[in-house]
Structures are given as structure tokens and as C-alpha cells.
């Protein structure tokens, strides 16, 4: 653990969980932004194990919809009152509790993330403003799911042909798609995975257990 002013930096979710479980339990307003549901595993369990008389807003990137298990979990959380939206924009992976504390996820290092727990009011306010702007621009889960249905069905096969290294023309024929349609679907899948290259898309898919 490292403490700098009003910022505490911890390594790994186990330490984060140990330091913040009581804060999650007491929070009446929870806002969460994440690329997928793997970033906040332990914290999510704490946040969702208690009463439903809180406001919960969850903002995810489209990659979360590629995993049937994660989709099922999102639907269950909606039934318990959570508000869930999907955004195609880049987001800062963040949890905000009662607009008084922000937890910012850092990069992976040696298989472990660092997390910064911030209480400085002006910083928390800035993080909250960024979250609110992204939330307003995002799409309700059900609406995004309908738009995303075709790419989700095609995703495993697209990842397979990408991994084979075949040319786009061959891949398009294999999938029974026109070349332009195939390239558009690849671009959509890359965007969903937050990837800037086909190689990165494959790596990200492996991280998520999609291939």
C-alpha cells in the first residue's frame, strides 16, 4: 500500500477488498464503469450481496456482451434494480461511492492490478462528472443488445478465421459474407473488444476466454 496525500494506492483486488468492503456495504449510491466484469470481481460481489435500496449505475464496454455468462449476470442485476448501459467510447475503469470516494483501476502488472482510492473532493467531483457524461451518452442494455445481436453470433467464427491468418477474401467466403460486410464485422468486433489491431483483438478475446 502507498499513501500520497488523499490518494491510497493498493495492489490487487484482495487488498482493495480488505480496505473498502465496509464502504461498499454502507454506500447508497454506486456508479461503476468497466471494460468488462473482470475488473471489479471482488468489489462487485460486495456491492451486490446486500440490500437493494441503493442506486446502482453500471457502464460497460460492448465486450461484456460477447460472453453469455456476463450477459446473464447483467440481466440478473437489472432484475434487482441496477441500471446498466453500454458505451462504445473509451472509459476510465472507475467506481464512485456516494460521490465522495472514487476507486480508479490501474494497468495490469505481473498479472495484478493497482487501484487508487481517492477522497480529495475536487478530484472525486471531476471523476463523477466524467462518468455522468459517459452515462448520458451510453445506450440502455436491452437496446444495445438488439443492435449487437448479429456480431455476437458471428464473433466466435470471426475470431477463428482471424486466428487462421487467411486473407479477408477467403475469410469472407468461409463465413458466407460479402467482403465489405466481413470487414465491417471485423471492425465492429475490434471496437467491442477495445482492440486497435486484429492481433490485439485475438489477444483480448483470449483474455476474456472467448477463444
* pLDDT tens, N- to C-terminus, the chain (211 residues): 454 557 888 888 888 888 888 888 889 999 999 988 877 775 555 555 544 578 999 999 888 888 888 888 888 888 888 999 999 888 889 999 999 999 999 877 777 888 999 999 999 999 999 999 999 999 999 988 887 777 778 888 888 888 888 899 999 999 898 999 999 888 888 887 778 888 888 887 777 666 6
User: Helix (H, G, I), strand (E, B), or coil: what is residue 56?
Assistant: strand
Q: CA torsion 52→55→57→58, rounded to 10°? A: -30
Domain with CATH 3.30.870.10 in the chain: 2-137
- Which residues lie below 8 Å from residue 27, measured CB to CB, with a gap of 6+? 47, 54, 97, 98
Domain with CATH 1.10.10 in the chain: 144-207
Eight-state DSSP code of residue 24: H
C-alpha cell at 83: 441500471
Topology annotation, domain 2-137: Endonuclease; Chain A (3.30.870)
- Which residues lie below 8 Å from residue 166, measured CB to CB, with a gap of 6+? 174
Domain 144-207 CATH assignment equals 1.10.10: yes
Cα gap 157→171, rounded to integer Å:
9
Amino acid at each position: 500500500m502507498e499513501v500520497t496525500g488523499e490518494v491510497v494506492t493498493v495492489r490487487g483486488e484482495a487488498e482493495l477488498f480488505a480496505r473498502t468492503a465496509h464502504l461498499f456495504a454502507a454506500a447508497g449510491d454506486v456508479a461503476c464503469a468497466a471494460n468488462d466484469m473482470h475488473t471489479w470481481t471482488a468489489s462487485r460481489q460486495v456491492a451486490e450481496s446486500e440490500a437493494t435500496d441503493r442506486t446502482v449505475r453500471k457502464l460497460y464496454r460492448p465486450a461484456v456482451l460477447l460472453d453469455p455468462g456476463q450477459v446473464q449476470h447483467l440481466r440478473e442485476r437489472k432484475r434487482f434494480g441496477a441500471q446498466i448501459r453500454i458505451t462504445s467510447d473509451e472509459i476510465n475503469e472507475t467506481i464512485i461511492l456516494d460521490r465522495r470516494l472514487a476507486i480508479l483501476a490501474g494497468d495490469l502488472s505481473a498479472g495484478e492490478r493497482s487501484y487508487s482510492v481517492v477522497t480529495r473532493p475536487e478530484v472525486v467531483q471531476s471523476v463523477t462528472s466524467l462518468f455522468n457524461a459517459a452515462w448520458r451518452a451510453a445506450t440502455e442494455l436491452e437496446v444495445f443488445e438488439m443492435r449487437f445481436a448479429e456480431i455476437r453470433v458471428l464473433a466466435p467464427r470471426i475470431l477463428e478465421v482471424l486466428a487462421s491468418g487467411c486473407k479477408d477474401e477467403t475469410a469472407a467466403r468461409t463465413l458466407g459474407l460479402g467482403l465489405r460486410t466481413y470487414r465491417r464485422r471485423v471492425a465492429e468486433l475490434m471496437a467491442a473488444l477495445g482492440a486497435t489491431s486484429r492481433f490485439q483483438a485475438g489477444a483480448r478475446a483470449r483474455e476474456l476466454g472467448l477463444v
